[in-house]
Structure 1
Amino acid sequence: MSEQVRQLLTPEQVAAALNITTAQLAAWRAAGTGPNYFSLPEGVIRYGPRQLADWIRRDIPLF
């Protein structure tokens, strides 16, 4: 496995970081409203740390 792929985040890691369930994250993927992700061979889903941080800054309102 390449170093770039190892640095990608699993759905479980992203869900934990956002304090949501993996089911909610999957629903966001299906609706096209969540963070950008990579679909790797064999149905593996991964998220880039930079893309996740950009999505958080852009799409999550601060209280």
Structure 2
Amino acid sequence: MAYKKKPAPLPVMAAGPIPRLLTPEEAGQLMGVAPQTLAHWRARGSGPAYVLLSARCVRYDEAVLRTWLESRVQASTAENVR
């Protein structure tokens, strides 16, 4: 039996307003990628953290997406050298 990877946990939220949750279509539009790309990233365990409301209901916290995108900014290709 194959085991699925658990999604990356979202940061603990302090009491306050509920974050804006985006559908994969909205998240893809914000990021400039297809919803299918987000699905591939979820399956591989890469990409931004997401909220799994039910087995087939995935949402993305807009603030988490923006933070993830900011973490991906690179000034040059030399930053990829390991």
Same fold (TM over 0.5): yes
Q: How many residues align?
A: 60
More helix by share: 1
- Opposite residue 4 of structure 1, the aligned amino acid is I
Match in the other structure for 2:42? 29
Structure whose alpha-carbon radius of gyration is higher: 2
The CA RMSD measured in Å over matched residues stands at 2.0
TM-score, normalising length from structure 2? Answer: 0.62
Q: Does 1:51 align with 2:69?
A: no
User: What is the CA distance between 1:50 and its match in structure 2?
Assistant: 1.2
TM-score, normalising length from structure 1? Answer: 0.78
Among all aligned residue pairs of Structure 1 and Structure 2, give the percentage whose two residues are the same amino acid: 32
| Structure 1 residues 12 and 58: alpha-carbon distance in aligned structure 2, compared to 1, 3 A threshold | same
Q: In 1, Cα distance between the equivalents of 2:55 and 2:36? A: 19
User: What is the CA distance between 1:20 and its match in structure 2?
Assistant: 1.2
User: What is the CA distance between 1:32 and its match in structure 2?
Assistant: 1.3
Q: In 1, Cα distance between the equivalents of 2:73 and 2:38? A: 14
Q: In 1, Cα distance between the equivalents of 2:74 and 2:28? A: 17
Q: Which runs of 4+ in 1 moved over 6 A?
A: none
